[in-house]
Amino acid sequence: MKRFVIGYLALFTMFLFTETVKAQVPKLMSVQGMLADANNVPLKDGLYTMYFSIYDLEVGGVALYKEAFQVQLSNGRYMALLGERNALNLAFDKQYWLTMSPDSANEGARIRLTTSPYAFTASHAMHADTSSFAVAAHPVGTAGGSLNGSYPNPTLAPGSVTTSAIANESITLEKISKNLIFLPSGPASGDITGDYPNPKIAAGAVKNDRIADLAVTSAKIATGTIDSINIKTRSISGIHIKDSSINSSKLGGNVVMAPVSPSSFFTQTNGTMNTNAVVGPNTLLVGISSTDAGSHGWLNGPTVASQVLRFNGTNLVWSKDSVIFPVISTGTADGAANAMLGLTNLGNSATARFVSTTGNAVHAITPTIGSAYAGLFEGNVHVTGDIKKTYKSGSIPQNAVPVAFASVALNGQVRSASANMGTVVWNGTDYEIDMLGEVYNPISHIVNVTANTVATTPVPVVPLTSLRGNRLVITFYTLAGAKTQTDFHFTVMKP
């Protein structure tokens, strides 16, 4: 009996250990002990939770076995059977230590497990020699049970091998007589449905790889079962179609006949018949009127990119040359309503786009000079790029247009100016002017300068313009020839 202190409860516990060993029986270990308080007074009777752990080290390590019990305390004593709930599978081939704690107390000191004195003889059983008599003994006499005859060579008795004596799936085909016939029974599966012995082919089981080539004849196909979705594109050729078996009712609405080349033209000269003429596939009907016959002939496709269908006075031909076959109108009324080509755009995109990589994108010609224009625009016109002017008569003047203007104080401050005016700087002798997006050139630009009369400026003054770098320079001189400052405004113009 051993006493130790358990956790904060300061309890004392006494144990008695025994172990019962029996071959082929689960290992169980009986643990008995007593719970007492710090004054060695047994605890009150009742249920207590005990926690047991087994280690292979006296200190430290990891518990190899754990089990919790609800033990009944009687006069402080209790008993627990380890391995009853959690299998005690330790080998017990080395030293182990047991520890326990009641309720939530800390583990107590580990107690070394010992062996019962008579249990030492169990170690000899592991090395016992086989009895020579038991090895040499043979049965003798009359056999019984499922055997006939006498030992040592009995035989199986007739009818002794019953169903229960035969292991499942132990009989192979070699053991079965060739004269036996086994009929299947029960529900069918896989590609077969129903029950044996009369199953049926399951729906959808007959696939392409199950059908032999040329095994399906027309007699096997129900009327109206083959649709266009069942026929692979370009899979049916002439050898598969019976002569005269396809008529117009068999063709779908989106069927396009393959092109064929006519050997001759057909001309209908009967006026009455002409009114009933119709256009067939790959054909063109022209010349329809109440008196003229219609020419029913072949219309070939275009051969060159950008060709359009034009009438050359006799036939319709493909052409992209507007000079050979021009579109001519003899209308006399002028105005947008009578235009030969009318384009109306109700959206925000461009109505027309003309692109030329080498020549003129648009070439408009007016044969007479007067009120007619080669181009008439009713609305705003935006041009990105230069406008080149070529006058047919040299006497027509080339007007100059303003490109920049400003009103400047004598100190160079800009009072008002055009949007492209940059900076005006008085450098002590003259004014340097920078224009945005415009490079001043005294050859191509015209400058008009007017000096304003102010109290500090001697009058009159004479302005002169020059070029310094890319800037316009304006210098004012008095009549005595001295440079001076003054208020002024100027305008730069270009033809």
Res 4 pLDDT > 50? no
Per-residue pLDDT of 164-203, as tens digits, reads 778 887 788 777 877 777 778 889 888 888 888 889 888 8
Per-residue pLDDT of 190-236, as tens digits, reads 888 888 888 988 888 888 888 888 888 878 888 877 777 778 777 77
Residue environment code for 12-42, b if the CB has 16+ CB neighbours within 10 A, otherwise e: bbebebebeeeeeeebebebebbbeeeeeee
Paired with 475 in beta bridges are 464
pLDDT for 433:
93
Taking all residues of the chain, what is their mean pLDDT, rounded to a whole number? 75
Model's pTM, two decimal places? 0.27
CA 236 to chain CA centroid, nearest Å: 38
Domain ranges of the chain: 5-120, 264-328, 401-494
pLDDT for 395:
54
pLDDT for 194:
87
Asked whether the beta carbons of 472 and 433 are under 8 A apart, the reply is: yes
**What is the token pair recorded at 392?**
């047919």
pLDDT for 133:
46
CA 228 vs CA 236, 248, 250, 257: distances in Å: 12, 15, 11, 16
Asked whether the beta carbons of 286 and 266 are under 8 A apart, the reply is: no
Res 294 pLDDT > 50? no
Cα–Cα distance measured from residue 277 to residue 359, given in angstroms and rounded to the nearest whole number: 46
Cα–Cα distance measured from residue 18 to residue 115, given in angstroms and rounded to the nearest whole number: 8
Res 9 pLDDT > 50? no
Higher-pLDDT residue of 362, 430 = 430
Rounded to the nearest 10 degrees, how much is the dihedral formed by the CA atoms of 289, 290, 291, 295?
Answer: 40
Tell me the fold of 5-120.
Immunoglobulin-like (2.60.40)
Q: What DSSP letter does each residue of 23-43 carry, written as one string?
A: TTS--EEEEEEEEE-TTSPBP
